[in-house]
Chain A
Amino acid sequence: MTVPVPYRVVECEAATPDTATIVLEPVEAALQPFTPGQFAMVYAFGVGDIPLSVSAIDGHRLTHTVRAVGAISGALHALRPGGIVGVRGPFGTGWELSAASGLDLLVVAGGIGLAPLRPLVREVLATPGRYGRLSVLIGAREPRELLYTEEVRSWQGSLTTVDRPDERWQGEVGVVTTLLDRAAFDPSSAAAFICGPEPMIRATAGELVHRGLEPDRIRVSLERNMHCATGHCGHCQLGPLLLCRDGPVVTWRLAQPLLMVREL
């Protein structure tokens, strides 16, 4: 759908000091169903629209977790129940979880990168027996920036680490790649799904390849700036790819050479 459809905010909950999770319901017609890893263009009326991944999918309801970093994300973060936004979508490739059937799964999230990965984890947990072992590795800058903490506690095989612990933090400290030593997976039959800032993606995917994971079995989400989301404006171009159309999820085999290109 390329024309924004009105959705009403039915819930909004602060997740971290600058992040909120908002639940949207169609006012009339609903968009096509989203799959994990896909994104919507969410329009704050009078301000503009930005890409936001779905952080939960529940029938026609859309859930987004939004971090306020600028004008548009700030306006969406400030929404309260009853507020109306325009939504376009679904856009993007999604995680293509079905290709990982029978394999051990490694889900690696940095910061708000856990948002687009949450629907994937939920789908895996809802289909026991389809995949091998599941490890969810989560890294955050500080304990107060951790998302969905209660839900994450219920995920068997999840490990969390922070860069800067506070006085109360009793968990692990260090970058998310250090958790790979504690994850149960066989590199020859595993698939990885990574989302977070690019340096974190590079460090994690690089380490996984070093441990023997095939670059085709590593999927990363590349969240470059987007504008039209329909493959026309070129804002999201990365080498030969238009990430709104060919991404945001791509294999590491495709992404790795593109992320190593120096800016001109």
Chain B
Amino acid sequence: MTVVRHGFLGALPPAHRDRLAGFARDVSFPAGTRVFEEDGVADRFWIIRSGVVALDVHVPGRRAAVVETLGEGDLLGWSWLFEPYRWHLGAQTRAAVVASEFDAGRVRAACEEDPAFGLAVTNCVAQVIARRLKSTRTRLLDLYGPPR
């Protein structure tokens, strides 16, 4: 049986985790900060250390609809890894957030330079995407009530 480690960094083998951590800088955002906007350039990403971030979709003429919230240990942003490097969703902090911030260009360059590191990072991001896709599909089933 696989023993799963949690949080984005927890899923990386230690050597690669340390290497990635070398790119990090500490940032904090007050509650209510727009961290990024849908379709904006995805040139950074974050690993949340504390606080809550809401991911939202712009709906013309209405308030943005929140589709998911992220918290401690979660990866905020994966669009930086794939072309066209633009955010799919918007992100706003719900509570004050402390996070590790990464420069996407530098991490991508390191991934290309060292394929083992690149594979490990890509694998971890892919796992995050797979989990979010699975939750999105599960939500389509309208899980919590009797059939309508």
Contact = CB atoms under 8 A, between A and B. Distances in A.
B138 A199 contact: yes
B68 interface: yes
A67 B146 CA distance: 9
B4 A210 contact: yes
A211 interface: yes
Contacts of B7: 181
Interface string B1-27: 111101100000000000000000000
Contacts of B3: 187, 212
Interface in B13-68: 52, 54, 63, 66-68
Interface stretch (B71-79, B80-88, B111-119): B71-79
A165 to B, nearest CB: 5
Contacts, number: 79
A178 B71 CA distance: 10
Interface residues of B, number: 28
Contact of A200 (B52, B66, B72, B143): B143
Interface stretch (A88-96, A166-174, A232-240, A246-254): A166-174
List 7 A-B pairs, minimum CB-CB distance, nearest first: A111-B144, A141-B144, A200-B143, A174-B68, A175-B135, A172-B69, A69-B146
Interface string A178-198: 100110000100000000110
Contacts of B72: 181-182
A175 B143 contact: yes
A168 B144 CA distance: 20
Interface of A: 67, 69, 110-112, 139-141, 145, 161, 163, 165, 167, 169-178, 181-182, 187, 196-197, 199-200, 203, 210-212
Contacts of A174: 67-69, 135, 139
A171 B68 CA distance: 10
A172 B4 contact: no
A199 B134 CA distance: 12
Nearest to B2: A210
Given A177-B138, A203-B134, A210-B2, 5 more contacts: A181-B71, A182-B72, A200-B143, A203-B143, A211-B4
Interface string B127-146: 00000001100110111111
Given A165-B66, A172-B52, A173-B66, A196 B144 contact: yes
A181 to B, nearest CB: 5
Contact of B54 (A112, A167, A173): A173
B94 interface: yes
Contacts of B4: 210-212
Given A173-B54, A210-B4, A212-B1, A200 B144 contact: yes
B144 A140 contact: yes
B143 A141 contact: yes
B143 A173 contact: no
A110 B66 contact: no
A53 to B, nearest CB: 15
Given A141-B144, A170-B94, A200-B144, A178 B66 contact: no
B78 to A, nearest CB: 16
A210 B6 CA distance: 12
A106 to B, nearest CB: 14
